[in-house]
Amino acid sequence: MSSRSQKSFRKCCKNKIFLVSFIMFVLVLAMFFAKVTTALSQESSFRLQNVGFVRQYTYIMRVSGSNYQMIAGNTGNILFQSGSSSRVFNYIVGNCSTGDSIYVEQGFYYVDSMWNIKVNNLTVIFQRGAILRAVNNLNSVLIFVNYVNGTTISGVEIDGNAVNQNSGLWGNYPYQASGIGVTGFGNLIIDCIIYNCRVFGVFVTSWGGNCGVVNCTVYNCGANAIQLNGVANYAIGNTCWGCSDVGIAVFGPRAFIANNYIYDINGSTGFVNSHVGITVESSGYATITNNTIKNCYYGIATMNTVPPNSHSNYIAYNEILNVNQGTGVSLGDDGHNVATHNYINGSFARGIEVNCYGNIVSFNRIIGVTTDQGAISLNSASNNSISNNTITLSTSGFGIWLLINNNQNIIQGNNIQAEIGIVIQNPNCNYNKLCGNILVNCTVQISDSGTGTIINPDTSAYYSLVFCNTYDGSGEGVYVYANNTSCTITLNEGSILNVNGVNVYLEDNQYILDMMKDYFVYVTRGFAIIS
């Protein structure tokens, strides 16, 4: 190699070495800055989170050894401490103003007297792992929303220590052993876990309105998991199990119960052991929809325990499985209920039972009834519409069963597979109209005592309009029209009208029916006038 070539080669090598060194230097520098940036970012993020945490809450409650502390949210200073969690919490609330917030850090809080919330629009957030446990013989609710409005309680876990509470305190509210008690309006219980309460998990009293229990898990309570008295209260997205009486019980008008999962309501620790998934008791205009109920004695029941009677409830799109003692849906008391599009599989006694008047039972699917008491049964029930239901039983059993004193009911468009399709058992069943039912593989299609009266729909000179208003009850009843008479239903703006199981389009907020057949009409929202 010539000297000139050697110089060129050495120069080239130097350039390559310099380039490689420069690249390595850049990479190292980049890694260094990346680490510094990450560290600064983490520190900055930590600082920002801490600043946000401090500024987000007015006060913080903390467990410190054997004491409980009240911390100022803006400074982190300890303001008060005591060996009693109840004394500290109630002291914090006493220093709060409307709109303030309390953050309860994780740890065990032994409740020796009620945590008493007496400030409007107070937000109490519990860190996951913050557990309240009732001391022996507390004999009251653990948290009481005390006639105030706009409270939010989020994330608390409550152990009611039921075995060590007084069992004789039923009805002595708030001095009864329950988890959370609520009075006032617009209060919200959300994302809580509540268990082992002697009476109720959550109890909204008769002085509570528009209060909600949302996304909570409530189990192993001596009575009901969730009890809703008062007006327009709601329970959405909760999981309830292992209680002795009822999963969700409604004792006030206009309740909304949706998307809850209720199962194994079969406990024996309580003093009332009904074992029902959902009840509507002595109230009306409730909406019960899209719930799943499994392994209970009864699925959903409307009933009268004290006046007034239950009526005008809307029960739709629920899934009810393995009702192991009684009925999937039970309609009692004053009537005018709608049970539609429910799926019921595996009832012991009946799929749906109707024990009152003016109800609409339509588009339900019922599979498997253990005893021969009817997939749908009517007892002392008149002016009801039983239409467009699908019933599939084994080789034994009754599809639709009319017992005694069932008059002027309309049974049409049902698809029934059973040993006996329709049974009219008693001569005191008169003027019931049977038409358009499809009876498949039935040993006996219709069994009639021979003394009751069945209307021939083809020769009937009159048709019925069964009208149910699950919104406010206005205009409810059974209207009878001569053949081919027009009937006009007028509704206010935004109303929802359903005719024979189908939502209909309203022109100028009116709907006209030519009475050449029977109609089953219900309003789920709005006000209606029939003319």
Q: Taking the CA atoms of the chain, what radius of gyration do you get in angstroms?
A: 32
Q: CA 507 → CA 296, 414, 493, distances in Å?
A: 44, 30, 11
Q: Which tens digit of pLDDT belongs to each residue from 215-250?
A: 999 999 999 999 999 999 999 999 999 999 999 999
Above 50 in pLDDT, residue 362? yes
Among the residue ranges 42-46, 321-325, 344-348, 362-366, the one predicted with the least confidence is: 42-46
Helix, strand, coil percentages, rounded to 5, for the chain: 15, 45, 45
Query: Under a CB-based contact definition with an 8 Å cutoff, are residues 365 and 390 in contact?
Result: yes
What pLDDT score was predicted for residue 511?
87
**Quick one: average pLDDT of 115-142?**
97
pLDDT surpasses 80 at 44? no
Nearest of 326, 244, 495 to residue 227 by alpha carbon = 244
- Greater confidence (11 vs 90) lies with 90
- Return the higher-pLDDT residue of 352 and 483: 352
Q: Which two tokens stand for residue 511?
A: 């709907």
pLDDT of residue 40: 33
Q: Which residues touch 259 (CB under 8 Å, ≥6 apart)?
A: 236, 237, 290, 291
Contact 203, 227 (CB under 8 A): yes
Domain boundaries, the chain: 478-530
Query: What pLDDT is attached to residue 373?
Result: 76
Measured CA to CA, the distance from residue 140 to residue 105 in angstroms comes to 23
Q: In the prediction, which pLDDT does 41 show?
A: 36
Q: Show the tokens assigned to 496.
A: 């929802």
The rounded distance, in Å, linking the Cα atoms of 169 and 12 is 96
Q: What's the mean per-residue pLDDT of the chain?
A: 85
- 47 or 248: which leads in pLDDT: 248
CB 402, CB 380: distance < 8 Å: no
Q: Encode pLDDT of 316-325 as tens digits.
A: 999 999 998 8
Q: What span, in angstroms and rounded, lies between the C-alpha atoms of 46 and 513?
A: 68
Per-residue confidence at 518, pLDDT binned at 50, 70, 90? confident
pLDDT grade for 332, boundaries at 50, 70 and 90: confident
Q: Which of 101-105, 213-217, 283-287 has the lowest mean pLDDT?
A: 283-287
How many angstroms separate the CA atoms of 268 and 464, rounded? Answer: 47
pLDDT-based confidence at residue 43 (cuts at 50, 70, 90) = very low
Of all residues in the chain, the percent with pLDDT exceeding 90 is 56
The dihedral sign for the CA sequence 190, 145, 172, 249: negative
Q: Note the pTM of the prediction, 2 decimals.
A: 0.85
Predicted pLDDT at 408: 87
Q: List Cα–Cα distances, 109 to 140, 156, 160, 162, 482, in angstroms.
A: 16, 11, 12, 16, 70
Name the token pair of 159.
Answer: 């152990």
